[in-house]
Structure formats: structure tokens, C-alpha cells
């Protein structure tokens, strides 16, 4: 299936366009299930959602959320856990009940059972209406590293060195970056009814160029998105810098 590509001038416009899609989804379906991501790429989106809630009163009272991933070994109060990130950057700025926001439990005694529980949870919620994604420099989505089967459900993953290096800026040192994480699998992500992938900056340009080439391979996990019928990529001009300008409009191959 063709991917829809939206080019933006910069990070701010990318964030605003993505937030507009989420706000529209919530207004049209007040009990929507949102799949959420973490990291620096989506921070601007969450700032836009919080500002819209303050200024326009968009309500998240009946929304349910499920996050893509969590580090193994970090509890919800750890400042580098994704539960902490979500509470700090988004949930406490909205009227969403915290018990309706879900993140994998990185401290679960039985990690395999936690993965199965998370899959059941998503099914019990009725599936994900809109999944927000970033993309790693090596093309990972969630923490699905290159080589991950497209049939994978939620699972425990050993993080690639490039991924740990990219996240080291959030930790005191590289040694402090967890080596494992729980992540929604590629199959889990592809069951979402709609997917929005964001990319910003020159460091994402190579991954986006490979994605838009249209070759579907586990070596580039994001290429699985070509198998989904409703994917929108919102990328700024720096992230699209390796794509010829005549190919930046409309649908990708």
C-alpha cells in the first residue's frame, strides 16, 4: 500500500500537524484508543496537545492509551522510564484518568507473561485506533530492531548498540542505558487502524530515504508499514533531505 507523505518546513510544523490529527481523532471518537510513543521527536506533539487542552478544552476523559515500549529494569518513578516520561510530558497536562493510560511494566517478575498480558490488554480495549510512531536511525519502530520478524507480537528485545547510543544522552552514561526493553511487536503495530510516523532532522534522513524506497525487509523494521493500508508520514525538510523534491509530494511508492 502507498504511504501518505506530508512534508513540513520544520519540527514545529511537524508537531502541529501530528497534534491536529490526534485532536481530530479524539473529537470524532471521544473514547479512542491512542498508541503513543516517547523520545524527543514526539515532545512537540505532546506540548501541542497540552496547549490545545488548556486553550480549547479538548477532553481526554474517555480516551485510553497504550504506549509502545518500556525499559526493562526501570520502575514508573525512575526519571528515565517511559511511564515517568508520559506522566511528566503529557498525562498530567490533560484530563485523562491515569488508570486508563497503559505502559508495559519494566519491573514485571515474568517478562514473557507481561508481554502476553499487554497483548491481551490491547485486544480488550478493542485495538488501537491511532498509533503514533517515531523512527530510529537504523529504521526501528518501537524497539523493534533490524531483523525483527514482521509477525512479532509484544516481546522482550535486546537493544542494538546504535539504539543505546542514541538514548545515552538521557542517562548519566552509556553504561546506565538499559540493555533490554519490552516493545509492542511489528504485528501489534500493524493491527492499528491508522498509523502516523514522525521524522525530524538530518539524522533521520537515511532511514526515511530507505523507507520511501519501498523495499519491504526485516532489515528495515519500518518498511513493514508498507503492508498497512493507512499510514501517514509527517517529516520535516531535513528528514527528507535525501529525497528528490519531485518525489516529496503525495504518496510514496
Kindly report, residue by residue over 171-191, the tens digit of the pLDDT.
Answer: 999 999 999 999 999 999 999
Is residue 17 within 8 Å of 250, Cβ to Cβ? no
Model's pTM, two decimal places?
Answer: 0.95
- Which of 7, 48, 52, 69 does the annotation list as catalytic? 69
- Which of 48, 114, 138, 167 does the annotation list as catalytic? 138
140 included as an active-site residue: yes
145 included as an active-site residue: yes
Is residue 6 within 8 Å of 235, Cβ to Cβ? yes
Q: What is the pLDDT of residues 51-101, one digit of tens each?
A: 999 999 999 999 999 999 999 999 999 999 999 999 999 999 999 999 999
Task: Give me the domains of the chain, ranges plus CATH numbers.
Answer: 4-247 (3.40.50.1360)
Lowest-pLDDT range, 145-149, 191-195, 241-245, 248-252?
Answer: 248-252
β-bridge mates for residue 233, sequence order: 5, 197
Spatial separation of the C-alpha atoms in residues 164 and 230, rounded to whole Å:
30
Residue 253 pLDDT: 46
251 included as an active-site residue: no
- Which of 140, 144, 155, 167 does the annotation list as catalytic? 140
- Which of 52, 145, 236, 238 does the annotation list as catalytic? 145
Q: What DSSP string describes the chain?
A: -PPEEEEESSHHHHHHHHHHHHHHHHHH-TT-EEEE--SSTTHHHHHHHHHHHHHH----TT-EEEESEEETT--TTSTTSHHHHHHHHTGGGS---GGGEE---TT-SSHHHHHHHHHHHHHHTT--SEEEE---TT--BTTB-TT--TT--SEEEEPPHHHHHHHGGGSSSGGGS-SEEEE--HHHHHTSSEEEEEE-SGGGHHHHHHHHHT---TTSGGGGGGGSS-EEEEEETTTTTTS-GGGSSEE--
238 included as an active-site residue: no
Amino acid at each position: 500500500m502507498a504511504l501518505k507523505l506530508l512534508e513540513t518546513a520544520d519540527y514545529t510544523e511537524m508537531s502541529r500537524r501530528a497534534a491536529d490529527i490526534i485532536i481530530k481523532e479524539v473529537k470524532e471518537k471521544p473514547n479512542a484508543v491512542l498508541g503513543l510513543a516517547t523520545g524527543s521527536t514526539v515532545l512537540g506533539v505532546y506540548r501541542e496537545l497540552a496547549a490545545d487542552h488548556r486553550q480549547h478544552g479538548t477532553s481526554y476523559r474517555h480516551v485510553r492509551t497504550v504506549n509502545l515500549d518500556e525499559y526493562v529494569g526501570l520502575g514508573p518513578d525512575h526519571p528515565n522510564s517511559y511511564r515517568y516520561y508520559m506522566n511528566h510530558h503529557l498525562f498530567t497536562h490533560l484530563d485523562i484518568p491515569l488508570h486508563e493510560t497503559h505502559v508495559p511494566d519494566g519491573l514485571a517478575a515474568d517478562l514473557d507473561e507481561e508481554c502476553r498480558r499487554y497483548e491481551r490488554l490491547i485486544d480488550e480495549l478493542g485495538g488501537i485506533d491511532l498509533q503514533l510512531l517515531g523512527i530510529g536511525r537504523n529504521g526501528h519502530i518501537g524497539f523493534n530492531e533490524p531483523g525483527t520478524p514482521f509477525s512479532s507480537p509484544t516481546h522482550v528485545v535486546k537493544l542494538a548498540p546504535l539504539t543505546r547510543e542514541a538514548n545515552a544522552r538521557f542517562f548519566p552514561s552509556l553504561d546506565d542505558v538499559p540493555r533490554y526493553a519490552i516493545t509492542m511487536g511489528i504485528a501489534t503495530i500493524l493491527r492499528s487502524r491508522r498509523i502516523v510516523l514522525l521524522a525530524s532532522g538530518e539524522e533521520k534522513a537515511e532511514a526515511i530515504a530507505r523507507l520511501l524506497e519501498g523495499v519491504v525487509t526485516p532489515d528495515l523494521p519500518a518498511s513493514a508499514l508498507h503492508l498497512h493500508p493507512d499510514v501517514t508520514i509527517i517529516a520535516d525538510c531535513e528528514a527528507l533531505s535525501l529525497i528528490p523534491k519531485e518525489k516529496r509530494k503525495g504518496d510514496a511508492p
